[in-house]
Structure formats: C-alpha cells, structure tokens
Structure 1
Amino acid sequence: MPELLPASSQPRYLQLAEGLKHAIEKGVFSAGGALPSIRQAAHTHNLSINTVIAAYRSLEDQGFIEARPQSGFVVKNQLPGLMRTFEKGTEESAASASVLSLIEQAFAMQQDPSFLNLSLACPDKNSDLFPREKLGRIMSRLVRQQASLISSYALPPGSLTLRRQISRRMQNLGVLSHVDDICLTHGCMEAINLALRAVTKPGDSVGVESPTYFYLIPLLNDLGLKLVELPTHAETGLCVDEIEPLLAEKQLQALICMPNLHNPLGCSMPLEAKKKLAKLVNQYQVPLIEDGLYAELQSHGTLPAVQSLDENGWVIFCSSFSKTLAPDFRIGWVHSTRFNRKIRQLKSLYSIAESQFLSETLGQFLEAGGYDYHLRKLRKNYAKNMNVAQALIADYFPEGTKATKPEGGYLFWLELPDPIDTYVLYQQLVRDKISLIPGRLYSASGRFSNAVRISCCNPVDERYRAGFARVGEKARELLASS
C-alpha cells in the first residue's frame, strides 16, 4: 500500500487519494485489480474509515476506480499513453479555405445548444467556473465611480493598472518584466498576429510544431508566410535538436512555439529543451513567438517560460485571460523588449485600442487578490474532467486508442487505430448532434487523419458520458468496416 503523499496543506483524504492515484499510474495496481479494503487502508495509514471512504470516492469521481458488488473498489481501465514523435510534415499544404470552412462549421455547432461539443476549447456560456459575480461587482462600481472610462480610448500600450498586474504575474513564469514592455491586445490571437507582422515579411518561412493550433494555418497563409511543420514529440513537445540545422541554414525566419501545455497535445517541454531553444534563437537571431495561453493552468505550479531564459530579446511572449478568467473580455497581451515599439505601432494601425473599462475591471480583480485561488479551483476541475473523460474513452473506444497525458489544462490529443478516419467520424457524428474536430485540421499538410483533440473545459455529466459512448460506438463501427 503506497504511503500518503506529503502535503500538509491538503486534507488527509486527498493525500491518500493522490498517493493511490500515483500508484495506479505507475502500475502498482493494475486495471481490474482490487484496492485494499476500506478497513485495511484505514488500519495501514491510521485513518478513520470515513477518511478512506472520502479518498476512494474522490478517485471514483475522477474516473480512476469503480465500486463493484462483492469486490469493493477496483481500478478502471486506463487509456494507454501516446509517446511518439510526429515527424516533419510534407511540403504539400492544405487549402487554407478548407481549414477555415471546417472551423466555421465547428463554431456554428458551438453556438447551437442542441450540439454536444467534445473538441472546442470554449466553456459553455452557462459555466460557473469563472468569477462572474465578482467581476460584475467591479464593473458596477467602475460605472458609478469612473463613468468616463467608457467614453475614452485606451491607446497602446493600454491600461497601466492591468499591465502592472500582468508584469507581476510574469514573474511566476520566471520573466522579469517591466510594464513598458507589455502591450494589451484583443486576445492571444491578435498578440500572435502582431508579433508575426513585427518580425516577418511575405514569403518568409515560419516553423511551427506539428500538430499545431488550427487557426495558425489560415493566419500564416493570409500573411503570405510559408508554414513549416517541425518534428514534435507527444510528451515533450518541439524536438529542439532537429531544428538547429534549419536555423543554421537560415531556412526559418521565425518560430511559433507553445512550450507549456501545448495546444492540441497538452504536453510541456522539459527545462533543458527550453534552455537550448532560447540559446538557439539568440545564437541565430531568429525571433521566437512563445504562446503562453494555457501556462497558468499547469497542475503542479507554473513552469518557466522560454522567455525567462532569453538573453537578448529574441523571444516574444503572448497570452490572454480568455482561458482563465473572462473569455468574452478578449483581453490579451504581448510582452517584448526588442520588438516592443514595432508591435505598439502595429496595434495602433490594426485595432487602435483595447477597452479601458474591461481592462480596468481585470486589473482591479487581480489587485484585490484571489486570482491564484481561482486558478487552483480551475485546475482541480479541469483535472477531474480530463481523468473522467480518459476513463470513459478507455471503456468505450476501440482497443489501440491512445492519448497524451497532460499535467494540467483541459486539452489532450487522442489517436485512434490507423484505419479510422476521424473526418469520416466527424461527418457521421454530426447526425447525432456531436461535434468532434478531425485531426487533419491541425496540420497544414493534412496529416493526423486518425486523431482528434478532446476538450474537457466542461463538466463530464451524463450528456457527455452518453456522447463519449456514442463516439466510441461509431469508431468501433468504422474500424470493423475497414
């Protein structure tokens, strides 16, 4: 029986649950095997029976174990991990228009309440995960006390109140930031867009991880840039050793990378890989646009950003509060030293300003404290959703299905047995009012035909359980017919 994990700030039942969870993940308790009885566990750890019951119920809620008559609690089937390298993509590019068309269809389904969406990283509009009431109170107070906010432009770089708070939070990523190096943007996508415009010109080649966030494909195409798919490992992210020749031979004029909680893989780069990446972009003077959108959702504290290892300003950091605090506010930022002036000029040119009213609302929320507590709640909810979703997939999907195992966030990458084409699966599920975005959308060369991204930003209730069961059923039918 594993020992309780040392965590004095946690209740005893959670310490026991974490210890058992790690034992299950390491294979100490195999799928179908029974856990120690409640009385035995209570005796072993000198705990009350109620404490052990609470620990087992927590693991049951997370999808790790289940209660069986006459057998007590047993370990549920675990989804095999996906640990392989996705090689460099082919030179053939998918039509940007077809990618945009599929994205448009997916977002249309998102707006239709009759559809169950298993892929889009958009929480349900009725979600209670975000501090709506507290933000609402701040907004009401600002309208009463500073009504002039809604009648003025907040020209770049934007609200000083919010930039000060962002600068403080950047320290959690290891970045010593100054408010003057931060420019507020309309979400993270505008931050990346402005960064690309600042460091490239039409015809340049931009290296991206493969698979990548699907909106980057039409964005790069629209800017007249060539997308180069770079080798990426499902567990450790960008294969840094393999990109040095491309940098040395000046085949890349910029890089876009998501080192922490990659979208769609969910993986994070090891520290040594980040150090080497920062060294390479400085050595060859190639700008790196670092997408940190999910960085604050990591389970075990915030990992350092690549920008924290940057020596001469070649790394540009982009993020927003859309995934952690207020999706509809669309407030993001870009942090840069070397390219800061150019980015501000571009911000003025393309969208002029961000809302001072919304920016001040976020700034005052962060000043008041409580954001870290809110983040801990988010991480806990998302971890539970992801564990339950993977357990359901292990139960319902065809044998041979594998998934990445992120340490945080709410996205993971699912790879089905090769004969299954997830675009065909997507088309068939539309009839069942289920939206599942096919893997080929995440590749400029149309790869990953047997993969999908799974999003767990919403609670896995009975509707979601039935949805996963139906997807598994259709996947098994496709596998049998192939």
Structure 2
Amino acid sequence: MGSRGFVPLYRRLAGEISEAITTGRLPSGTRMLSLRDCAAQNQLSMNTVIAAYRLLEDQGFIKSRPQSGFEVCIVLQELDHPLEAHVTNASADSESDMMTLLLEAHQRPSSVDLAFASPRGKRFFPSPALANLTRTVLRNQQSLLASYVLPPGSKLLRDEIARRAVRLGMSLEPENICLTHGTTEALQLALRAVARPGDAIGIEAPSYFNLYPLLNSLGLRGIEIPTHPRTGFVMEHVESLCADGSLAAIVCMPTVQNPLGYTMPIENKKRLAELAALHQLPIIEDSIYAELQFSEPLQPALKSFDNEGWVLVCGGFSKTLAPDYRVGWLEGGRFAQAVKRLKFYSSASESMLLCETIGLFLKDGGYERHLKSLRRLYQSQINTVRSLVLRHFPLGTRATQPDGGFVLWIELPKSVDSIQLAQAALSNDIVIMPGQLYSKGESFRNCLRLTCCQEIDERYIGAVAKLGGLACSALQGVEA
C-alpha cells in the first residue's frame, strides 16, 4: 500500500505504465511486453494484465497492433517541474478587464465555454432525484418556509457531512460544522476568523483565480508559494515562511487542487499539519474537489492529521450535486465559535429546505452512487481532452495529469501569450482561462486552464481543435 492508498492490482499496474509513458521512460512507438511476459515479470495473473492493458488502451496510452501485440502511443507530456521559482508578494485587484470579458462571453449561447469550472449537462448532476426529494421535504415539512434558521444550520446535513468525512480520514463534530452560502463564503468566513487586514496569507502558485479578489476584499496580502504540479507546495519554502513568522494563515487545496489537479503526498500533508501545530498557524483547507479523486479508497484530507484544531476545512456541493442550491460548509476547528458568529453577522443562515434535501440525498446513499459515476466520467473526459490537446496544440505543449476533478493546466511554448490567445479565442466564440489570472506575476503567461466538465461533443471537440490552431498560429507568428 503506497501513499495514495490501496488500488486494485490492474489499476496499479496501469498507473505504473502510464507514468512511465508520460514521463518519457517508455517513448512512443515502444513495443509493450506481451501479456504473458508482463504477467510473469510482475508476478500477476493474466486477467490482471489484460485488464490493465485494456484500461491503458481506453485511456489512449497504448494501441493494439494486429499480430504484433501492443505499442506505446504518442502522448501529451506531463508537467514535472515546480511552477514558481521564488516567493512573490501578490496584491490582487478585484476588477479585471479580462475576467469581465470572459464572464460576458460565458453568458452567450453561441460561445463554447472551456474556462469555467461549472459542470453542464444531464450526466453531471442528479437533478430529477433532487427535485423529487425537494418536493418530499416541502410536502412533509411545510413549516420550513415560515421559519428562521440560525447558524450552524440543518442538523441532518451537518450529521451527514460529518459521517461522510470519515471517507477522507476526518473525524468532524457536527456542532463545529457551519453551513454556508457555497464554498466561497466558507473561505471568506475562515479568513475573517483567522486574519486581520494587512496580514499575509500563504497561497499556492498557481491558485484558484477567485482567491485573489477575495483576499483583496478583506485587505489581505497573498504570498505565493512555489508549487509542484504533482506534489503541491515545495515544503522547504513553507517551512521557511513558517519559521520567520511571515504568515497569518495558509489557504490551500491539498487534495485535487484547482487548477493543477494534484493531490499532495500523505507525508507532505502530515508535515504541513505538524507545522501548523508547531507555529500555531491556521491552515484553511479547501476540499471542494476532494471527493472527486480518481483512485479509491480516497486519500485522507489534511484535516485528518490535525490534532489541535489549527486546520479549518471547507467544502460544498456546487461541483457535484446542486450548483443553484449554493450550499457549502466549514468546520472551523478551534475557530468554530468565531465562524458561527461571523456567519450570523454576514448572511444569518442557509435555506433549511435545500439543506434538508441534500441531507436526505446523502443519507440514502444516492450521493455516493452519483460520485462513483462522476469519477469514472471525469477521468475518461480528462484523458480524452489530453488526447485532443496532443493532436491539435503546438509541439512542446505539456499538461498536468490530474489525480481527480475536471480541469487541465496547459503549458504552451514560452513565446505564446495566453492573454492574446484568449482574446483571439473570444473572437471565435471560445472562452478559455489564461494563466495570468492564477497569479499576479508573469510566471504563467504561456499557460491556460481548460475544463472538461461538459459533454465532449462535436462542438466541444471543434472548439479545442480551433484553439489549438490559434495557438499554433500564435507560435508561428512569433517565429516568423
């Protein structure tokens, strides 16, 4: 059993082979071991190897050659180096002309949205089941519509959140969980509970783009910490910042990070929790994508290693269940009472009707069945989009290989400016998220994020192909 937890033998073998392919240790065109030789070399059954090869073929890593076995396909190379060389001060401006353009384009029916992490389509949400449950709750508890609710909110939903947290290794107390208006409010409440205007907050580089205006609105300064696309924070830099007292808190996504998709190794999570306790440094863990890990059982959350309450963990259901319900949650650790007070002062409470509906859906097992389907769907779509990027984008393009979720971080050749690419894409009714919005430095000027959370239909495929063509044209224009 490794740091990523137990996985079936065929998936473990497929993972080892795919890693060798994406890192270049098995170059394209390499002839794979025969099924029999692979089974003998790895001391596995033939059925295990057949299942592993079938999975690799489905994911586009290998292909069958008639009468000749299997060979390695040409694959998109994975990012494998830290994405920031130094720590920088990052003061955010809440207004962005580019973001305004992207939001406006996102609303146009004619546009193809490859930018926003907003799943769209019948397969991504269990809407009929939720609608039926909402009607049931409303029919059986009509008094909810005439009642005022106070923090922390629906006991049923808080109990279910605490029960499900065990899957991520967490032992949460329902009374310390506060229901919020989405995960964004949970982050805001957590920051207000642990920091004051002028304080410095450690963040990943690149970080979720909405984090910058959130910090700015609270008068906080973001300190970007170098981050590796496979393992997260470069821990030496975290230890240095903790030791010199530079930070009032850290905000991070240790499990299925947005936009890089990595899950921090368990040893690094343990070390981060130890640093929090040693330096009495609050860490705000955003776990919005944690249940969308591709490997099961799920890797534990950072909070699972917190014994003294310095880790505040938040999550929500907008990416997996019901975006319009806008229900999130925050377990505040030693700051739980402060969080409840702040919630009351800011927005009082969340709809009991909607929270009870979600609570029932979690309780009857519908949510777990839905998540299992989503994980398979998103892993397939990630691999499909990586194949499209390989086919259509300039030579030298690299991309992340996420551990979960539905976003890809793309690194284009250095001379391609993603802001200019985004503007050219908008002229073609394609919306992308340029890398500069994920940092206030220049490190990610040649990067962008693509989302894989809608139907991969002809329209989507055409948009990715067109975007790749625009990137190729931009590269040729620079080289001309």
- Partner SS for 1:338: helix
| Rounded Cα–Cα distance in structure 1 between residues aligned with 2:54 and 2:268 | 39
Q: Which residue of 2 aligns with 1:81?
A: 78
Q: How far is the alpha carbon of 1:97 from its aligned partner? A: 1.9
1:171 to 166, 171, 182: 166
Q: Which residue of 2 aligns with 1:303?
A: 299
Q: Which residue of 2 aligns with 1:355?
A: 351
Q: Which residue of 2 aligns with 1:326?
A: 322
Give the direction of change, closer, same or farther, for the CA distance of 1:208–1:20 in structure 2 (3 Å limit): closer
CA contact (8 A) 1:24 1:75 kept: no
CA contact (8 A) 1:21 1:64 kept: no
Q: How far is the alpha carbon of 1:111 from its aligned partner? A: 2.4
Would you say 1:275 and 2:270 are equivalent positions?
yes
CA contact (8 A) 1:258 1:291 kept: yes
Give the direction of change, closer, same or farther, for the CA distance of 1:74–1:430 in structure 2 (3 Å limit): farther
- For 1:256, the aligned partner's letter is V
Give the direction of change, closer, same or farther, for the CA distance of 1:20–1:297 in structure 2 (3 Å limit): closer
| Rounded Cα–Cα distance in structure 1 between residues aligned with 2:245 and 2:13 | 49
Q: How far is the alpha carbon of 1:302 from its aligned partner? A: 1.7
Q: Which residue of 2 aligns with 1:190?
A: 185
Q: How far is the alpha carbon of 1:7 from its aligned partner? A: 8.1
RMSD of Structure 2 on Structure 1 (CA): 2.8
- Partner SS for 2:214: helix
Q: Which residue of 2 aligns with 1:12?
A: none
Q: Which residue of 2 aligns with 1:90?
A: 88
**Mind listing any 5+ residue stretches in structure 1 that lack a counterpart?**
1-5, 9-14
Q: How far is the alpha carbon of 1:66 from its aligned partner? A: 5.9
Q: Deviations over 1:200-240 (max 9, x none)?
A: 11111111111000111011111111111111111100122
- Partner SS for 1:231: strand
- For 1:135, the aligned partner's letter is L
| Rounded Cα–Cα distance in structure 2 between residues aligned with 1:313 and 1:477 | 52
Q: Which residue of 2 aligns with 1:341?
A: 337
The number of aligned residues is 463
Would you say 1:387 and 2:391 are equivalent positions?
no
Q: How far is the alpha carbon of 1:328 from its aligned partner? A: 1.4
| Rounded Cα–Cα distance in structure 2 between residues aligned with 1:250 and 1:130 | 44
Would you say 1:242 and 2:240 are equivalent positions?
no
Q: Could you state the TM-score of these two structures normalised by the residue count of structure 2?
A: 0.89
| Rounded Cα–Cα distance in structure 2 between residues aligned with 1:433 and 1:68 | 40
Q: How far is the alpha carbon of 1:68 from its aligned partner? A: 8.3
CA contact (8 A) 2:407 2:449 kept: yes
Would you say 1:104 and 2:100 are equivalent positions?
yes
Give the direction of change, closer, same or farther, for the CA distance of 1:7–1:439 in structure 2 (3 Å limit): closer
| Rounded Cα–Cα distance in structure 1 between residues aligned with 2:298 and 2:14 | 24
| Rounded Cα–Cα distance in structure 2 between residues aligned with 1:36 and 1:209 | 40
CA contact (8 A) 1:76 1:391 kept: no
Q: How far is the alpha carbon of 1:70 from its aligned partner? A: 10
| Rounded Cα–Cα distance in structure 1 between residues aligned with 2:173 and 2:125 | 28
Q: Which residue of 2 aligns with 1:476?
A: 472
Q: Give the 5 Å matches for 1:5-404.
A: 22-27=16-21, 30-32=27-29, 62-65=59-62, 75-85=72-82, 86-91=84-89, 93=91, 95-98=93-96, 101-124=97-120, 126-300=121-295, 301-404=297-400
CA contact (8 A) 1:256 1:288 kept: yes
Q: Which residue of 2 aligns with 1:423?
A: 419
Q: How far is the alpha carbon of 1:151 from its aligned partner? A: 2.1
| Rounded Cα–Cα distance in structure 2 between residues aligned with 1:202 and 1:165 | 35
- For 2:113, the aligned partner's letter is N
Q: Deviations over 1:172-202 (max 9, x none)?
A: 1211111101000011110000000111111
Q: Deviations over 1:369-400 (max 9, x none)?
A: 13222111100000000001001111111111
Q: Could you state the TM-score of these two structures normalised by the residue count of structure 1?
A: 0.88
| Rounded Cα–Cα distance in structure 2 between residues aligned with 1:343 and 1:264 | 27
Which segment is superposed worse, 169-178 or 21-30?
21-30
Identity of aligned residues (%): 43
Give the direction of change, closer, same or farther, for the CA distance of 1:365–1:33 in structure 2 (3 Å limit): same
Q: Which residue of 2 aligns with 1:3?
A: none
- For 1:354, the aligned partner's letter is E
